[in-house]
Amino acid sequence: MSETPKQTRVLIIGGGPAGSLLALLLHQREVESVILELRTREHVLERVRAGVIEHGSAEVLRAAGVAGRMDSEGFVHEGVQVAHGEEMIRIDFEGLTGKHVTIYGQTELQRDLYGALDSAGIQLLDEAEGVRVEGIEGDSPMVTFERDGATEQIRCDFVAGCDGAHGVSNGFIPPSLQRTFERTYPFCWVGLLSETPPISDELIYARHERGFALCSMRSESRSRYYVQGSADTTLAEWPDDRFWSELAARLPKTSVASLVTGPSIEKIVTPLRSWVSEPLRHGRLLLAGDTAHVVPPTGAKGLNLAISDVVYLSDALAWFYRAGSTTGLEGYSDRALARVWKAVRFSWWMTNMLHLFPGMSDDFERRLQTTELDYLFGSDNAQRAMAENYVGLPL
Ligand code: FAS
Ligand code: PHB
């Protein structure tokens, strides 16, 4: 186990994409940091999550020097397919915005980030438990935690909470100063990973009377699929056969002809919710990524918001250390939230348009939903609006 430093400039709680990339961006600006991660690296790398890297996020990763494998192994996607029953259109990202996205699994990105941390000599202390913080309202917080049976302490200038939706950092902000906004959706996604060739060379988002479906991929031989399930469903209710038959039933027949099924190598049930916690800063505590906001994966924004948050946060911290100015730090929360809320809106819009809402007895609401799709299918401007949000709004 690596030696625990007694002091650092930025103590990062959480070694997922937000925490790892923040440490790298700070290192590039010669700002020292230490990462405390609750789990082992192996556990973090086992989590199968996001797959879409926005245009701007890819540029950030290139500038951080961690995009080599993404550029050689990732898939550049210049568009996406949207299906409604048997109808299907292509949203032409490149034609409508001049930009594209890259399909590259978060697991692989995390592997690249860990490799870059090691090359840069940045300390990631894993299996750090019971993290607690004192003095965030002063100018030198103290972070205490248990690791390898011993209680450790690190003094720092700033604490960056990057510990995700189930972390502790968000709880360090006084409840009297906090506002949260939430929308829980009455359904979930059942996700399946298989060693089968993807059904299509682009993603397919499908709305069907039986429910939502999404066809994605990880490589030319590894596919990632999702189907909408009830909010209380469990993995036990989704044997592979049922998953494949539901997926096939929700896709246009022309697409199903190319569907190759096979045994699942991983399956998950993930709830869908929109959640934002404001502000992202209190004294010397700054929050970034899922610890401050969660979006339904429909818009493929969660990972990309973690990236834009830490771009803004590293700018603000570098400004402080370079010029002694707190202007960036004072503006960080508003700057990050302005982009977060645009992604929350887009993810909410995609989710509302493409999913069946159980108990949607209101025919007016149901008709609005199909009209949203009709408008998208028939309007270049509507498709341009979807394209510019999907490839990622400017950072
Ligand atoms: P993360 O949750 O990735 O990382 C937080 C890290 O902090 C974890 O490694 C955790 O172990 C650690 N931690 C937690 N508590 C701690 C503590 N007390 N002390 C120290 N460390 C602690 N996004 C998409 O764009 N597309 C998707 O398809 C998609 N699918 C998802 C599926 C699932 C099941 C989940 C949970 C999320 C999904 N997301 C998806 C969102 C996801 O990719 C996040 O947006 C992304 O991981 C955010 O990165 P972080 O903010 O770093 O949080
Ligand atoms: C994925 O490939 O896991 C993926 C792609 C697009 C989404 C969500 C997940 O909107």
Q: What is the DSSP string of 280-293?
A: SEETTEEE-GGGTE
Share of the chain above pLDDT 70, in %: 99
Query: From the centroid of its chain, how far is CA 283?
Result: 26
Ligand 2, residues 103, 107, 216: which to mutate, most atoms within 8 A of Cβ? Answer: 216
What residues are paired with 278 via a beta bridge? 179
Residues 189, 255 within the same domain: yes
pLDDT digits (tens, 9 = 90+) for 100-148: 999 999 999 999 999 999 999 999 999 999 999 999 999 999 999 999 9
* pLDDT for position 2: 64
Beta carbon of 52 within 6 Å of any ligand 2 atom = yes
pLDDT digits (tens, 9 = 90+) for 61-104: 999 999 999 999 999 999 999 999 999 999 999 999 999 999 99
Band (pLDDT 50/70/90 cuts) for residue 362 is confident
Task: Show the domain range for 324.
Answer: 7-77+100-182+274-350
Residues 36, 114 within the same domain: yes
Residues 216, 250 within the same domain: yes
Highest mean pLDDT among 3-7, 50-54, 158-162, 363-367: 158-162
Ligand 2, residues 189, 224, 347, 391: which to mutate, most atoms within 8 A of Cβ? Answer: 224
Closest CA to 281 of 324, 316, 318, 308: 316
Instruction: Classify residue 90: in a domain, yes or no.
Output: no
Residues 211, 332 within the same domain: no
List residues with catalytic annotation: 77, 205, 297, 301, 390
CATH code of the domain containing 256: 3.30.9.10
* pLDDT for position 317: 98
What CA–CA distance (Å, rounded) separates 374 from 29? Answer: 48
Confirm whether pTM is higher than 0.85: yes
H/E run at residue 393: none
Beta carbon of 298 within 6 Å of any ligand 2 atom = yes
Instruction: Classify residue 157: in a domain, yes or no.
Output: yes
- Kindly give the number of the ligand 1 atom that is closest to the alpha carbon of 303: 45
For ligand 1, the distance from its centroid to the CA atom of residue 278, given in whole angstroms, is 18
pLDDT digits (tens, 9 = 90+) for 231-248: 999 999 999 999 999 999
Determine which residue's CA is closest to atom 15 belonging to ligand 1.
167
Residues 159, 267 within the same domain: no
For ligand 1, the distance from its centroid to the CA atom of residue 49, given in whole angstroms, is 8
Band (pLDDT 50/70/90 cuts) for residue 47 is confident
Give the amino acid at 71.
D
What CA–CA distance (Å, rounded) separates 268 from 266? Answer: 7
CATH code of the domain containing 112: 3.50.50.60
Q: Where are the beta strands (DSSP E) in the chain?
A: 10-13, 33-36, 52-53, 75-77, 79-84, 87-92, 101-103, 123-125, 129-134, 142-147, 150-155, 158-161, 179-194, 204-207, 213-219, 222-230, 264-278, 281-282, 285-287, 293-294
- Kindly give the number of the ligand 2 atom that is closest to the alpha carbon of 191: 3
Q: Over 60: is that where the pLDDT of 1 sits?
A: no
For ligand 2, the distance from its centroid to the CA atom of residue 297, given in whole angstroms, is 6
pLDDT digits (tens, 9 = 90+) for 301-337: 999 999 999 999 999 999 999 999 999 999 999 999 9
Instruction: Classify residue 83: in a domain, yes or no.
Output: no
